[in-house]
């Protein structure tokens, strides 16, 4: 009988531990989730935007698609396409294409919509000065002002087309 009670107690403790593990951790991303749908054809408009072009990037804003260092849009943002909260950067790392929402998480957590600017391998917030390392493929903060990486997006590369969408 004691063995049965002890077994029930163990099961009860195990169930309580499992239920407590399912509680909300309290972590909320600073950058709000906005729709993202970016499509780039590497055979047409983006012929030299290849997986082997390390540190190359394309920025997408409501004004259109902009290549590294260019001030004029390669193509406009079409209906059905969306560029997230602060714009989207698709960056070439050693792992291939990576994409992030350009909004600075530190500033977004304080209610400011502040898109980062790209300088080499870093996305730099013009407001708080935080630098996010894009080359690593995770856009982690470098100076320690922010405690959160930039919002990572899904990238699908198939048949010469790069499609960036929001993570599910």
Digit-coded pLDDT (tens) for 37-87: 999 999 999 999 998 888 999 999 999 999 998 888 999 999 999 999 999
Digit-coded pLDDT (tens) for 3-34: 545 555 555 555 555 545 555 555 678 999 99
Digit-coded pLDDT (tens) for 107-150: 999 999 999 999 999 999 999 999 999 988 899 999 989 999 99
Instruction: Identify the CATH number of the domain in which residue 62 sits.
Output: 2.102.10.10
Instruction: Report the DSSP pairing between strands 96-101 and 88-93.
Output: antiparallel
CA distance 129 to 161: 34
Whether pTM > 0.85 for this model: the answer is no
Do 40 and 65 contact (CB within 8 A), yes or no? yes
Q: Is residue 150 part of a domain?
A: yes
Q: Is residue 17 part of a domain?
A: no
Q: Is residue 145 part of a domain?
A: yes
Domain that holds residue 79: 26-165
């Amino acid at each position: 009988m004691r063995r049965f009670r002890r077994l029930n107690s163990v099961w009860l403790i195990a169930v309580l531990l499992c239920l407590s593990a399912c509680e909300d951790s309290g972590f909320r991303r600073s950058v709000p989730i906005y729709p993202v749908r970016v499509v780039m054809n590497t055979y047409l408009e983006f012929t030299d935007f290849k997986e082997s072009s390390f540190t190359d990037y394309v920025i997408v804003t409501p004004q259109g698609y902009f290549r590294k260092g260019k001030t004029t849009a390669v193509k406009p943002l079409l209906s059905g396409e969306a560029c997230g909260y602060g714009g989207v950067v698709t960056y070439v790392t050693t792992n291939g294409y990576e994409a992030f929402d350009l909004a600075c998480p530190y500033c977004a957590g304080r209610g400011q919509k502040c898109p980062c600017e790209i300088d080499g391998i870093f996305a730099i917030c013009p407001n708080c000065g935080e630098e996010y390392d894009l080359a690593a493929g995770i856009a982690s903060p470098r100076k320690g002002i922010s405690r959160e990486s930039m919002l990572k997006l899904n990238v699908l590369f198939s048949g010469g087309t790069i499609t960036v969408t929001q993570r599910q």
